Structure 1
Amino acid sequence: MANILVVDDELGIRDLLSEILNDEGHHVDLAENAGQARIACRDNQYDLVLLDIWMPDTDGVSLLKEWSLNAQLTMPVIMMSGHATIDTAVEATRIGAFSFLEKPITLQKLLKSVNQALEKTQAADPTPVAGAALRLMATEVSEEVATAATSHLIRAMPREELLPDPHQGFDLDRPLREARDDFEKAYFEFHLAREGGSMTRVAEKTGLERTHLYRKLRQLGVELGKRRMNR
């Protein structure tokens, strides 16, 4: 069971998320604005925060930045929005947001994102900027926003952050599509290695259907046979 804070100015959203998460065995507190969220985080320790971006007093990105600057960002934060933009996705993820949920929020997307975020403390993230890009590639925002935001992050990465292995790097002096293909290959190889070659677990971690995952790995030239033999 996890302690979760839901911050959203819409009563219907708060009630829906609270009902779903309570049914999953979690303890849920609710806040309808940034002021209430500040008080809740001051008085309680949360394992996860679901934070709406557009709120009347202080928007979610500004509150996230406030927590980060004050060293209060000690829990994963999932941003929620009905109209996420590329700039918003890049900014929030750079600040420290774990991922995004695009409204309307489905039960499947909610539970998958919550479970992934709660697992964050069980495994160390890659370097901050690289970790941000990895999560955006499997985020729940629209493909257009995720693709463009990931591209922005890749271009902004220091060379040493591009791969989990610090001894590897990318040649960035080439077309973006080629650089992104290499980054995606490194991303999937990282997860395959961490999951011992289990396609089922990698599919769950990356949020892809198994058939899509197989097709993607073949397209990127990832050697699946060798990985299975080395398990």
Structure 2
Amino acid sequence: MANILVVDDELGIRDLLSEILNDEGHTVELAENAAQARNARQRARPDLVLLDIWMPDTDGVTLLKEWRGTGQLTMPVIMMSGHATIDTAVEATRIGAQSFLEKPITLQKLLKAVEQALVRENSARRPVMDGVEAPAAAPAIGGTSELTVEAAMTGGHSLPTAIDLTPQGQQVFELDKPLRDARDAFEKAYFEFHLAKEGGSMTRVAEKTGLERTHLYRKLKQLGVDLSRGRRGSISSA
């Protein structure tokens, strides 16, 4: 797993990317502007940087040039933007960015870009064997809308419990309740079951339940599902 620096001036995007990458087992550090990104880069070299182009103090392309000019571009960088042109994307990859993601960022393209960048980085660090060095992969440009990175997610509220666990682990529902409460109780049990079954991986739960990642996060928060329960049980298998 990798140490990833996410640089974006939008709080909702930083939080969502952090949740997704943490769920994949990565360690994530957040920066909301170029100044914080510089400090994070100086403290420790990240394995990968996700860098927004449009930021209020210094734009991402300028920061990328700065890192390259000072010899600090020693890690793969994935550029992100919802307004950049093809020319901007080409310039960023020419400077040294590994790839470019267009906002809104899809879950599949995010995870694929991260995986490819880390694979390239690991290949580059590998010692040359028998005098043959593996060729570097070309940068990629992509990104279309499927998983929308939203600015905020609704908070959850406590619901009256409608589920008891028997010693055999079977779920018992109280049917003498309003339909909405009974349905929420069932949905909470349903998602808790899949979280436990998938070891707390939101990616696999999203695939199993057929929900987009952002919708799934909002749903779990609304139902008051403890997202840490599945992760605690999955540490040994990570």
Paired with 2:111 and 2:86, the residues of 1 have a C-alpha distance of 24
Per-residue CA deviations over 1:79-103 (Å, capped at 9, x if unaligned) read: 0000221221121111100001110
Per-residue CA deviations over 1:133-175 (Å, capped at 9, x if unaligned) read: x323xx2146xxxxxxxxxxxxxxxxxxxxxxxxxxxxxxxxx
Check conservation: 1:54, 1:81, Cα contact below 8 A: yes
**Percent of pairs identical after alignment?**
76
Check conservation: 1:4, 1:26, Cα contact below 8 A: yes
Paired with 1:57 and 1:122, the residues of 2 have a C-alpha distance of 32
Check conservation: 2:6, 2:31, Cα contact below 8 A: yes
Q: Secondary structure at the match of 2:139?
A: helix
| Counterpart for residue 139 of structure 2 | 135
Check conservation: 2:8, 2:52, Cα contact below 8 A: yes
Q: Secondary structure at the match of 1:72?
A: coil
Paired with 1:38 and 1:56, the residues of 2 have a C-alpha distance of 15
Q: Secondary structure at the match of 1:14?
A: helix
Give the TM-score, by structure 2 length: 0.54
Check conservation: 2:68, 2:96, Cα contact below 8 A: yes
Matched letter for residue 47 of structure 2:
D
Kindly report which structure 2 residues correspond to 1:94-105, keeping only aligned pairs within 5 A, or say none. Answer: 94-105=94-105
| Counterpart for residue 92 of structure 2 | 92
Give the TM-score, by structure 1 length: 0.56
Matched letter for residue 32 of structure 2:
E
Matched letter for residue 139 of structure 2:
R
Larger Rg: 2
| Counterpart for residue 120 of structure 1 | 120
| Counterpart for residue 18 of structure 2 | 18
Q: Secondary structure at the match of 2:55?
A: coil
| Counterpart for residue 52 of structure 2 | 52
Matched letter for residue 81 of structure 1:
S
Check conservation: 1:84, 1:141, Cα contact below 8 A: no
| Counterpart for residue 9 of structure 2 | 9
Kindly report which structure 2 residues correspond to 1:29-108, keeping only aligned pairs within 5 A, or say none. Answer: 29-108=29-108
Paired with 2:121 and 2:56, the residues of 1 have a C-alpha distance of 31
- Consecutive aligned runs of 4 or more in structure 1 exceeding 3 Å deviation: 124-127
Matched letter for residue 75 of structure 1:
M
Check conservation: 1:53, 1:61, Cα contact below 8 A: yes
Q: As a proportion of its length, which structure holds more helix?
A: 1
Paired with 1:106 and 1:87, the residues of 2 have a C-alpha distance of 22
Per-residue CA deviations over 1:9-67 (Å, capped at 9, x if unaligned) read: 00000000000000001000000000000000000120000000000000000000000
Matched letter for residue 140 of structure 1:
G
Check conservation: 1:31, 1:37, Cα contact below 8 A: yes
Matched letter for residue 63 of structure 2:
L
| Counterpart for residue 167 of structure 2 | none
